[in-house]
């Protein structure tokens, strides 16, 4: 091991052969033709060692450069320039300083630390969270950062797509789960990777979605999970600049960076945007007894919100710690990370996990005008980037309808809950349906915002799949090893008469009908629809509504379902087409459904015209939408019996008739069509079968 101690004060001077003072900016490892500049933030460290490794599992670094606080420190930034270092070099830090939890300080010079601004991560085969937790040197078991050159990539003219939200249908998906199953048909060597996803882009195009929302792809610690299981979802970050190594089919540490960009470029060529689910609210370092991987060992008191006694972490994330997002250091980190993923990785947007945490101050109290949220909102690099907030946190702060900012869109959890309640047949659910269908004006109307502020969804990664929502009345999380105590209890699900899988034809028909009902309201409602990976072919998690730790067939998409439930897949494709263009009606061409609904007259009905039943025991509702050239009529019947609904009369001049576009009770292909083949409805009433949705249009 070669140790070099710097000792000169002149900025830019040579301190030892091949070593110079370097610069404080930019943070991270920045290569040029001759070497690499390293810079890291630590306010209370007394000394910093830069470590170079030849192999990721070496027991000791091959070279140590000890930074001199007189020469290699500018304010709170430690920096050094090293000649001859190139992309691919493994490196890390050790930080010396006081271990004094009562003051919020947790320096441990035995621990090998990742660079918070590192653009690549290498992981030894023997990686150990335990070794980063207990006392002693953990060099052979620690993750290492990798020097990367972000400019070494040919984008071939690619730019983010900037598709308007009004033309957006989001598909929430997991990179690995999408192609990991052998039935995916992708080559075995790329299953579960960015490259594997590229192979399935034609499927996404055929489905018709316009954006993928990827569950976390920042490098995360997959080992923090119950014994024998894996942290599969990835809400456990260790780096905010590095694509997850395990999602790359390439073996070298820099492979994920280019393979991720290959995926983005290919999706853009297919007209599909890339939205990242980002976790800027906590890290994998967990609670006060957790491992020292990066931030804790460099400046614990700045990076995290601590309890008043400083020895314990405030936990607004439910994971043991909470990032101090409105501290200047963390604000800069978040902003630099977001800009990196937009400018260097070309992503189109972000969905912020537990975004309400970003509105808490350094003591955890909610702020009226959180600096980090306004930083994001007003940043010119992020202008035009899709920003979506999960506007709540794990400590009860719920900001749906009141999240700060003008550019932000919000996951509408009320849409999910109220739509589920209606189709389950809950008492009092019908009176909430109009608000949910028309972009929740009870939540957002006071802000005079566009209806696309509401991201509408019925299912997402967290909870039941759509199949399980109609197949289980209770969660079944036994495989998680927590005696079924984990996961949500308020699922508003209904098993349609049988708990779990069923071969009874009537049960299966009812379940398929309910699945279609949910798709109809989600893809017709005003706002922005989001659907969950595999719902279009009834993917099941076997009743597990908290499958965060299941890296197996519980989570992987079984592509054989596409043949079994081809009718559902066809229905969803046609619904998406209807959503994005009213050309299926051969009228209102070039106008989206959102635009049409906003400019139309709405009349509400029950089984009798203009007599909607808003009582608690009502389970049905109808309404007519009148535009300039288009008239359609929607009927929801969540009742257990058929109901006969009066139809609005049509003008006799010119002659017109109601035509059936959708009836979820009917078997495919009669369940959905377009005007060119839509049958005429005879009579002045329509019998809507139990648990069905009907859409009629004037022909």
Which residue in the list 348, 390, 468, 588 is annotated as catalytic? Answer: 390
Q: Is 221 a catalytic residue?
A: no
Total of domains in the chain: 3
The answer to whether the Cα torsion of 263, 264, 267, 268 is positive or negative is negative
Q: What b-and-e string marks burial along 557-566, b requiring 16 or more CB atoms within 10 Å of the CB? A: bbbebbeebe
Residues 272 and 380 in one domain: yes
CATH of residue 34: 2.60.40.10
CB 347 within 8 A of CB 160: yes
Q: Which residue has the tokens 């060597």?
A: 189
pTM: 0.96
In a domain, 107, yes or no: yes
Q: What is the 3-class SS of 245-289, one letter each residue?
A: HHHCCCCCCCHHHHHHHHHHHHHHHCCCEEEEEECCCCCCCCCCC
User: Which neighbouring-strand residues pair with 360?
Assistant: 366
In a domain, 675, yes or no: yes
**Which pair of structure tokens corresponds to residue 227?**
């014994």
Find the farthest-apart pair of alpha carbons in the chain and give their distance in angstroms, rounded.
94
pLDDT attached to residue 21? 96
- End-to-end CA distance of the chain: give it in Å, rounded: 82
Give pLDDT tens digits for 384-414.
999 999 999 999 999 999 999 889 999 999 9
pLDDT attached to residue 627? 81
Residues 351 and 228 in one domain: yes
Last residue of a domain, one of 116, 146, 176: 146
Which residue in the list 353, 418, 535, 551 is annotated as catalytic? Answer: 353
CB 395 within 8 A of CB 315: yes
Last residue of a domain, one of 113, 146, 179: 146
Residues 627 and 521 in one domain: no
pLDDT attached to residue 8? 40
Q: Is 588 a catalytic residue?
A: no
Residues 105 and 220 in one domain: no
**Which pair of structure tokens corresponds to residue 674?**
């377009």
Residues 558 and 661 in one domain: no
Residues 76 and 198 in one domain: no
Q: What gap in Å lies between CA 32 and CA 291, rounded to an integer? A: 33
Range of the domain at 67: 2-146
Q: How far is CA 445 from CA 402, 453, 525, in A?
A: 11, 10, 16
Strand, helix or coil at 457?
Answer: coil
Last residue of a domain, one of 544, 560, 582: 582
Residues 391 and 262 in one domain: yes
Residues 179 and 138 in one domain: no
CB 500 within 8 A of CB 541: no
Percent helix, percent strand, percent coil in the chain, to nearest 5: 25, 20, 55
pLDDT attached to residue 13? 66
In a domain, 680, yes or no: yes
Residues 142 and 174 in one domain: no
pLDDT attached to residue 676? 82
pLDDT attached to residue 575? 97
Residues 139 and 175 in one domain: no
CATH of residue 359: 3.20.20.80
In a domain, 498, yes or no: yes
Residues 678 and 548 in one domain: no
Q: What gap in Å lies between CA 522 and CA 527, rounded to an integer? A: 9
Binned average pLDDT, 10 residues per bin, the chain of 699 residues: 47 77 97 98 98 97 97 97 97 98 97 98 97 98 97 95 95 98 97 98 98 98 95 98 97 92 98 98 97 98 97 97 98 98 98 97 95 97 97 95 92 98 98 95 84 95 98 98 96 98 97 98 96 98 98 98 98 95 56 74 96 98 88 96 97 86 97 91 96 94
In a domain, 325, yes or no: yes
In a domain, 677, yes or no: yes
Q: DSSP class of residue 667?
A: P
CB 31 within 8 A of CB 122: no
In a domain, 687, yes or no: yes
> Using N-to-C axis directions, what is the helix angle for 505-524 and 566-580, rounded to 10°?
20
Look at strands 170-173 and 144-146 and give their pairing.
unpaired
Residues 600 and 578 in one domain: no
CB 634 within 8 A of CB 612: no
pLDDT attached to residue 7? 39
In a domain, 396, yes or no: yes
CA 197 to chain centroid: 16
């Amino acid at each position: 091991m070669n140790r070099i101690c710097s000792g000169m004060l002149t900025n830019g001077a040579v301190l030892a052969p091949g070593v110079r003072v370097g610069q404080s900016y930019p943070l991270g490892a920045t290569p040029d033709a001759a070497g690499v500049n390293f810079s890291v933030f630590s306010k209370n460290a007394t000394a910093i060692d830069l470590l170079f490794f030849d192999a990721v599992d070496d027991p000791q670094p091959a070279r140590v450069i000890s930074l001199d606080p007189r020469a290699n420190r500018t304010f709170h930034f430690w920096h050094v320039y090293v000649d001859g270092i190139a992309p691919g070099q493994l490196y890390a830090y050790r930080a010396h300083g006081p271990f004094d939890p009562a003051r919020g300080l947790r320096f441990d010079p035995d621990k090998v630390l990742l660079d918070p601004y590192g653009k690549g991560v290498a992981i030894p085969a023997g990686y150990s969270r335990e070794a980063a937790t207990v006392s002693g040197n953990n060099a052979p078991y620690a993750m290492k950062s990798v020097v990367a050159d972000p400019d070494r990539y040919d984008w071939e003219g690619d730019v983010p797509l900037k598709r308007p939200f009004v033309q957006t249908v989001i598909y929430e998906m997991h990179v690995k789960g999408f192609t990991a199953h052998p039935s995916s048909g992708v080559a075995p060597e790329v299953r579960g990777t960015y490259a594997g996803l590229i192979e399935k882009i034609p499927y996404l195009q055929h489905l018709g979605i316009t954006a993928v929302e990827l569950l976390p792809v920042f490098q995360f610690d997959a080992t923090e999970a119950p014994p024998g299981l894996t942290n599969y979802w990835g809400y456990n970050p260790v780096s905010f600049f590095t694509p997850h190594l395990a999602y790359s089919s390439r073996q070298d540490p820099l492979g994920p960076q280019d393979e991720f960009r290959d995926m983005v470029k290919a999706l853009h060529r297919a007209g599909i945007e890339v939205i990242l689910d980002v976790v800027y609210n906590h890290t994998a370092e967990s609670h006060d007894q957790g491992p020292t991987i990066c931030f804790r060992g460099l400046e614990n008191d700045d990076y995290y919100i601590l309890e008043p006694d400083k020895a314990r972490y405030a936990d607004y994330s439910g994971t043991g710690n909470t990032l101090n997002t409105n501290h200047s250091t963390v604000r800069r980190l978040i902003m630099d990370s977001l800009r990196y993923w937009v400018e260097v990785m070309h992503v189109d947007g972000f969905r912020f996990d537990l975004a309400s945490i970003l509105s808490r101050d350094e003591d955890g109290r909610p702020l009226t005008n959180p600096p980090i949220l306004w930083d994001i909102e007003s940043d010119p690099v992020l202008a035009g980037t899709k920003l979506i907030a999960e506007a709540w946190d794990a400590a009860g702060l719920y900001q749906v309808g009141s999240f700060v900012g003008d550019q932000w869109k919000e996951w509408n959890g009320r849409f999910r809950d109220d739509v589920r309640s209606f189709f389950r047949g809950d008492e009092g659910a019908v009176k909430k349906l109009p608000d949910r269908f028309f972009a929740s004006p009870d939540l957002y109307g006071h802000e005079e915002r566009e209806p696309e502020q509401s991201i509408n969804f019925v299912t997402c990664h967290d909870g039941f799949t759509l199949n399980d929502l109609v197949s289980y009345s209770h969660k079944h999380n036994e495989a998680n090893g927590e005696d079924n105590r984990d996961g949500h209890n308020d699922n508003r699900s209904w098993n349609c008469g049988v708990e779990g899988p069923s071969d009874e034809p009537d049960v299966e028909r009812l379940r398929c009908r309910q699945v279609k009902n949910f798709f109809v309201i989600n893809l017709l409602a005003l706002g922005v629809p989001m659907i969950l990976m595999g719902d279009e072919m009834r993917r099941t998690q076997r009743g597990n509504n908290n499958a965060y730790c299941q890296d197996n067939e519980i989570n992987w998409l079984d592509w054989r379902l596409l043949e079994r439930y081809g009718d559902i897949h066809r229905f969803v494709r046609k619904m998406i087409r209807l959503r994005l263009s009213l050309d299926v009606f051969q009228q209102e061409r070039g106008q989206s459904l959102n635009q049409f609904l906003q400019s139309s007259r709405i009349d509400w009905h029950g089984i009798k015209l203009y007599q909607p039943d808003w009582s608690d025991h009502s389970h049905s509702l109808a309404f007519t939408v009148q535009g300039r050239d288009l008239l359609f009529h929607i009927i929801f019947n969540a009742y257990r019996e058929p109901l006969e609904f009066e139809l609005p009369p049509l003008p006799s001049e010119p002659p017109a008739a109601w035509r059936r576009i959708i009836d979820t009770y009917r078997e495919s292909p009669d369940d959905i069509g377009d005007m060119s083949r839509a049958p005429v409805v005879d009579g002045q009433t329509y019998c809507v079968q139990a648990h069905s949705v009907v859409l009629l249009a004037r022909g």
